[in-house]
Structure formats: structure tokens, C-alpha cells
Structure 1
Amino acid sequence: MSDLQRSFQKSKLARFPLEPPMPLNSHLGALDEVDDEEDQDGLGGEENDVDSRMDTPSSPCSSASSTSTIRPLFARPEPRKKASLEPLPWSRYFSSSLHLLHEPTSAIFHAYLTSPTNNGPLFVMHHGAGSSGLSFALLASEIRKILPAAGALSFDSRGHGETRTPNDEDLSLPTLSQDFVTVLELVKEKCGWGKMPDLVLVGHSLGGAVVADVAMGGKLGGSVLGYVVLDVVEGSAIDALQSMQTYLSTRPSGFTSLSQGIEWHTRSRTIRNPTSARISVPALLLLTDTTQPESSDDSSPPRPWRWRTDLAKTQPFWQGWFVGLSKKFLEARGGKLLILAGTDRLDRELIIGQMQGKYQLVVLPEVGHFLHEDAPGKTAGSLVEFYKRNDRSALVLPPKVSDMYK
């Protein structure tokens, strides 16, 4: 090409914008070509030394040093880190673990407690069948975040957790209701309270039936500001009992480790909050004798972690737990709150009561039966709001007429 043609092409190319940077591989290839051309032309010296220093991996200006920040367009996403399945200690959520001796019966009730402060309320919690007091661990923690003066008491009912009684198999409703009152009296004595603090009773599933029965009996007197029932309704509960044996037969009989038990609860969506499962599930399992064969099939690994509570043996009490629940819930004295995972769980009696304004109804979407574990923050917000609405200490009564004359 002649010099005239070269000058003409350069004048035309100068009118165009600069080209966008080439991909890294093309850029490095072009540099190699330039270097080859320079070597062929006999160019070298200081300029090449500077270029070579710029391209060393240790230099911040190096193209090679930036290759780690360049990701291919169709690269596979990095795999997510597997969630931890290690158990979490109760001490993160309660201040003390109590073993309360009831001398007349020689029963030892196990409870988790965080005492109220500055005349705050005490939320007393009763778990469902097969569960334990740690079912409310996250909920108790969330309540204190919103209302720091509040206390929380959550105990293992007989036949569950670490509670031991002379007759752990007696899970009739009157027995469980008396245990509820007994535990409160023992805690009051243990903590040296002059009087019982303001109480908000909270029960999940079977615990809801116990709470309603205790409120109806009135054994705790005027200390009860209100009571809360979590995801249990008489009609739907009785209907569900027909398929309870089928459900129990589908559960694993045991697990090889605590981590496997936690994983099963989250994978089966029994508990949808992995953090809560890491707290509550270990208390549901008990390490048994591993020397006994699991089955005739030697190829199956041993599963020494078994359920603490055999729910199949509680079948004689199922009807007695829930019959009459709606009537007790509506007629007992005190504020009433029902928190459900869906409105389809309401029966006819509760629908009428809701229309008459006899109780407060809260429905939490996208949660399972263990709604207080799946959504502890939302549940705690509803409980604290319920307490504030029924808090008698916040009421300001008008002065008496006689005092006004004085």
C-alpha cells in the first residue's frame, strides 16, 4: 500500500469512535502479536521493560491479576452452602432450666424460664402432643425483643421431655390441666414471688386445649389477663384424629443421629424454620441401646435415636382433649386470641363467635401447624399486641365523684 493510501485510510478511521475493549483472551492475543511485530522490527529497550512490568501478575495493573474477577457468561452458579444441622443450646433463649419437685406426688417437672422484670407479664406456654418446652424457644426470645420486661415459662408436660411423674402415661385433660397449675405454683415458690405476675396463657394444639380448660376452671384467679390458642379448633382437630394413626405409621421409627432427625423435620416441612428445628427437635429424641438389632436386615444402619413420646399410646385420650374445646374457649373469662394457619380450620361455633366479636382472630399465611416455630417473629408481635390490649395496669380510670368534691 502506498503512503498516500495509508494517509487517506487514517483520516477516515479517525472519524470513528474508539472500539470497545476486546475480550481478555483476544486482548492478550493481540498483545502477543504486537510484541512479535516489535521484535521483528528490532524494537526493544525501556518501553518493552515497562510493558513487561505492567503485565506481571503481581502488578495491580496487570491483565492477569484481574482474570479472577471475570466470570464466563454461562458459568454455573456457585453451590449454596448447606445449612447447619447442629443442635442449638437452650441457654440462648431462656435464662434458666428448672427441675421442680412436687413432693406430694414425687413428680419432677422440667421447665425453661426467663423471669419477668419491672412488673412485666409472664407468658406461660404449653406445647402440643409429642413436642417439648423448647418448641417455644424462638418465640420466647422474639417476645423479649419486643417487650424486654416480659417473662417466659415453657415446661415439658408429663410423658414429654425431661419431666418425670409416677404415671407418665396418664395424659388425660384434667391431669394435664392440674399439672399446668402445679408448675406455676412451684415456679412462684422457687422464684420467691410475693404474688403471681400478670399471666398470658399460650397453648399449641393439645396445649391449646389445656389452656382453655385451665382458663375455664379459674384456678389461677385474676392473674390471668388472657389466653391464646395456637392452630387448634375442635371440629378440625376431631376430624384429623381419624388419620392420626396413618400419619404416625409414615414417620421414621428412629434416626441415625440428631442431625438426621433435624433434617427430616425440615425436609418433611413438619417444621419449616431450620433454626427452630435445631433447637426443638433434639428434645424430641432419646438415645436408646444400640446393641439391640434394628431389624433382620443387617444392611440397614442402626437408628439409635428414637422418639421420647410414643404418640400411638396416647390414642385413648385423643377425643377427651378436644371435645368441648370451642365452648370452653368462648366462655372462659379473660381476653381471647386464636392464631391459625388458615381460615378453613374454623368450625361453626367459632365462626359465629368471631362474627359476634367474642375473640380476636389472627391468620398467619405460609406457615404450617407449628406456626410459632415457623414464624416466631409474627407470632410474638401478635402476642405482645394482645397483652397490651388486655393490660389492666395501662387503664386510667376517671376519679370518683366523692374525690372530686374533696
Structure 2
Amino acid sequence: MSDLQRSFAKAKLAGLPFEPPLPPMHVEDDEGEDEVDDLKPLPDSTQDDDSSSASSASSASSTGTIRPSPSKHLFARPKGFSTGRKGLEPLPWNDYFTRELYLNVSRPTERLTYHAYITPPTAKGPLFVTHHGAGSSGLSFALFALEIRKALPNAGVLSLDARGHGETVVERLGSQPTTNNLDLSLETLSQDLLDVILMTQLEMAWSEVPGVILVGHSLGGAVVTDLAVSGRLGNAVLGYAVLDVVEGSAIDALQSMQSYLATRPTSFPTIPLAIEWHTRSRTIRNATSARISVPSLLRLDLSRSSVEDAKSWAWRTDLAATQPFWEGWFVGLSKKFLDAKGGKLLLLAGTDRLDKDLMIGQMQGKYQLQVFPEAGHFIHEDQAEKTAMVLADFYRRNDRSALVLPPKMDDLLKAKPVA
């Protein structure tokens, strides 16, 4: 190249804008978003788990729809890691419910403080009473509570924390109040739900219990069905809905529950990271709902925290310790579901969950079936708006207040004038 050509090239290059080299793969941007780290994406082999056995297995509890493998490093702490996650901060409960309740009761063997969230019904609207699944909390229905009020402005929602979950506190008299000695039998949980409804009536000064739609997810489905079939709420129950649990698949899943629980992280350094784990593992597919419900699943574990590693957030509920009650939760569920009085609704994430009894009942038209194949096990969180719409229609079909019955023949005869 001649000197003249070199001079021309240098002049041209000097006029070009400077472009820095590409950043290394492990450096995150200024906002902490879109970082490339060791949190590898999960394999999509289940195709949203619409018919996967993994999602069916989670019907035994409310722990998720995918069984993460330890080799996937779902919770690895990569180089350049930031403890914050933009857009994954917790959301406050009072954006979804109007108040929280602390209901105290004393019994010979225990003292309890039931904790529940409520938005009261207005103008004789219905009350949707929700019961969460094992390991979850009343806030799993927070987004649903918001959506049902859009569909039915007069409706109310009462969502409790079951014993051993959320902020409900149980003190066993004569022994230390630990999770291991909690009575989580179906009979006890069913009685707890009834007590919460009746105590809420007193707390809210209602002259009578409003028309009730019982809604239960997973374990909660077994609880609301048990209460419905007992008839202890009388004519107050307009209907009941069970979300993604049937007897057959739930009992089959119990065989693998302990191995699944062993794959979960035992703790999280921050709440946003716990929310991220739930969404990345597709346990909860709706990030907004995860931001509401996940914080209530964890407690600050001071025994695991250290000076160097500021905090450790552990699970509130020791699901492994509830194993003695697992079978009792689900045995006989299908028969009770079909036998109880009132409207019946079954929401599933896949039709593969139907067992023989429910399949026959469906063909005989004994209950309404709705399938959300795009949802995971947490139907009411993943598809809160659709769940609310289905339940709003379910209520309208079973609303007895809008039913006008013809007069009885005896009344007509008594009213007939004598010739």
C-alpha cells in the first residue's frame, strides 16, 4: 500500500464512531436484566404439562408441576450474580383483599389463631370460600379474588391459611408447638374450615352465612369436598369446585413425593430469588401471582443465616413431615365429590387426571368439567382470569336467589275462594 493510500485510510478510520468490544457472557447490564448465568432454562419436554405425569404427581401437594433435577442447577449462584431481580419484588396482599382476620379459638388440646384474608360480599352477593393446597397459603387465591370481583362485583372471597401454613398458629397444649406434632388429618382440616366460616360470620356480624361457593385446590379440594358432603353448612352451600386433583392420580403420585421434595431448594437467600425459582421451574407460571403468593410460603430462618450470608428464607411448611396424612387426604375423594349435594365443578389442567369414577360421572352429567391445558397444577394462579370467569358462570347457574318456584298446590287450594 502506498503512503498516499495509507494516509487516506487513516483519515477515513478516524472519522468512524468507536465501537467497544462485545461484553463477556457473564457480565450483566446496568439494570440487572437479561443476564446470562448458570440458571439454565428448563427442558420443555412436558409441553406445558398439559398431560404430563409430573403435573399429575403434584396433585398430591401444591409443590409444582415439574420435578427439577439437581443437575440442572436451577438455583445456582453464578458469577456476577445480583441478589435483586427487577420485576420480581413481592406484591402486598391488601391490593387483593380488603382486610385480614385473626380468629382465636381454644380447645382442650390446643389453642389456635386462624389467619384469613377477606373481601366481604355486598348486596347479598355470594361468598367464595377458598382452601389452598399443601405447602401453599391463602394468598394463592389473591389474583383470583381480584378477578372474581371483576366478573361478579358483589361477590366476596374468604381465603384462609390452613394450620401449619401461612400465618395460622397452632399451640399444642402440653407440648412444644412444632410442625411435626400438627394434626393435619382431613377431618381436622375440614373442621377448621367450618370453624373459620362460622367465626367469620360472627366477626363480620352477618345475620346468616351468605350463599357459599366452596373452592379448593389440590389438598384443599379434598377439604372442601369433605365439608360439602358432611352437610354441616346446610343450605348455605350453593356448590363446590375442586381444582386439579382427583383421587386416582393423587394417590399414584404419593409414591414419588419424597423424591420430588428432595429436589427442591431448602432455602433462598432472598424473596425475589424464591419468586424467580417458582417461575423458572414453572411451578407457578404467572409471575404476578407468584409475586403475591410466594413470600407467604417462606420464613426468615435465623439458624441458617450468617454474618457473611445476610439472610436465609426457608419453607414455612415441612411437607415431608406431613407424609402420615397424605393417603387419608385423597382416599374416597371421587365418591364424596359425586355424592355431595350442590353444584359440582372440576377444573383440571389435563383430562388424563380423570379416574374411572369421575369419567363415568362426567358421562352421566353429574358435574361440570373444565380443562385448562395451558395451565400447570396451580390453575387458579396460572389462569386467574379464566378461573374466575368459569366460577362466576358456575355461581350464576347455581344461584337459588334468582330461582322463582311455582306455588305449591296446597297453597293454591287454600287461596281458592269457597263457593
1:94 alignment partner in structure 2: 97
Counterpart of 1:95 in structure 2: which amino acid?
T
1:164 alignment partner in structure 2: 169
Residue of structure 2 aligned with 1:331, choices 336, 339, 342: 339
Q: Secondary structure at the match of 1:131?
A: coil
Counterpart of 1:267 in structure 2: which amino acid?
R
Q: Please tell me whether residue 365 in structure 1 is matched to residue 365 in structure 2.
A: no
Q: Please tell me whether residue 191 in structure 1 is matched to residue 204 in structure 2.
A: yes
Q: Please tell me whether residue 346 in structure 1 is matched to residue 346 in structure 2.
A: no
Q: Secondary structure at the match of 1:106?
A: strand
Counterpart of 1:335 in structure 2: which amino acid?
G
Q: Distance in 2 between matches of 1:309 and 1:80?
A: 31
* Pairs within 5 Å for 1:29-48: none
1:59 alignment partner in structure 2: none
1:120 alignment partner in structure 2: 125
1:177 alignment partner in structure 2: 190
Q: Distance in 2 between matches of 1:259 and 1:329?
A: 38
1:133 alignment partner in structure 2: 138
Q: Secondary structure at the match of 1:128?
A: coil
Residue of structure 2 aligned with 1:148, choices 147, 150, 153: 153
Aligned identity (percent) is: 63
2:320 alignment partner in structure 1: 312
Q: Distance in 1 between matches of 2:91 and 2:347?
A: 27
Q: Distance in 1 between matches of 2:331 and 2:306?
A: 41
TM-score by length of 1: 0.77
Per-residue Cα deviation, 1:206-233 (whole angstroms, up to 9, x for no partner): 0000011101111111100000000000
Q: Distance in 1 between matches of 2:319 and 2:101?
A: 25
Q: Distance in 2 between matches of 1:384 and 1:289?
A: 44
Q: Secondary structure at the match of 2:346?
A: strand
Cα separation, partners in 2 of 1:399 and 1:88, compared to 1, 3 Å: same
Q: Distance in 2 between matches of 1:400 and 1:262?
A: 58
Paired residues of 1:254 and 1:303 also in contact (CA < 8 A): no
Shift of 1:292: 5.4
Q: Please tell me whether residue 384 in structure 1 is matched to residue 389 in structure 2.
A: no
Q: Distance in 2 between matches of 1:359 and 1:405?
A: 41
Per-residue Cα deviation, 1:373-393 (whole angstroms, up to 9, x for no partner): 000000000101000000001
Q: Distance in 1 between matches of 2:227 and 2:294?
A: 27
1:46 alignment partner in structure 2: none
Q: Distance in 2 between matches of 1:205 and 1:303?
A: 31
1:284 alignment partner in structure 2: 297
Q: Secondary structure at the match of 1:145?
A: helix
Q: Distance in 1 between matches of 2:150 and 2:339?
A: 32
| Gap runs ≥5 in structure 2 | 1-30, 35-85, 173-178
Name the structure, 1 or 2, with higher relative contact order (CA <8 Å, separation 6+): 2
Larger Rg: 1
Per-residue Cα deviation, 1:110-132 (whole angstroms, up to 9, x for no partner): 00000000000000000000000
| Gap runs ≥5 in structure 1 | 1-78
Shift of 1:398: 2.1
Shift of 1:302: 6.4
Cα separation, partners in 2 of 1:145 and 1:312, compared to 1, 3 Å: same
Q: Please tell me whether residue 263 in structure 1 is matched to residue 276 in structure 2.
A: yes
Cα separation, partners in 2 of 1:232 and 1:304, compared to 1, 3 Å: same
Q: Distance in 1 between matches of 2:303 and 2:160?
A: 29
Paired residues of 1:113 and 1:153 also in contact (CA < 8 A): yes
Paired residues of 1:156 and 1:163 also in contact (CA < 8 A): yes
Per-residue Cα deviation, 1:285-329 (whole angstroms, up to 9, x for no partner): 0001156569xxx9xx56610000000000000000000000000
TM-score by length of 2: 0.74
Shift of 1:397: 1.5
Paired residues of 2:305 and 2:311 also in contact (CA < 8 A): no
2:72 alignment partner in structure 1: none
1:237 alignment partner in structure 2: 250
Shift of 1:336: 0.4
Q: Larger helix proportion, structure 1 or 2? A: 1
Aligned length: 323
Per-residue Cα deviation, 1:222-264 (whole angstroms, up to 9, x for no partner): 1000000000000000011111111100000100000000000
Residue of structure 1 aligned with 2:287, choices 274, 293, 311: 274
When structure 1 is superposed on structure 2, of 103-112 and 381-390 the one drifting more is 103-112
1:218 alignment partner in structure 2: 231
* Pairs within 5 Å for 1:196-211: 196-211=209-224
Per-residue Cα deviation, 1:87-122 (whole angstroms, up to 9, x for no partner): 000000000011111134421000000000000000
Shift of 1:399: 3.4
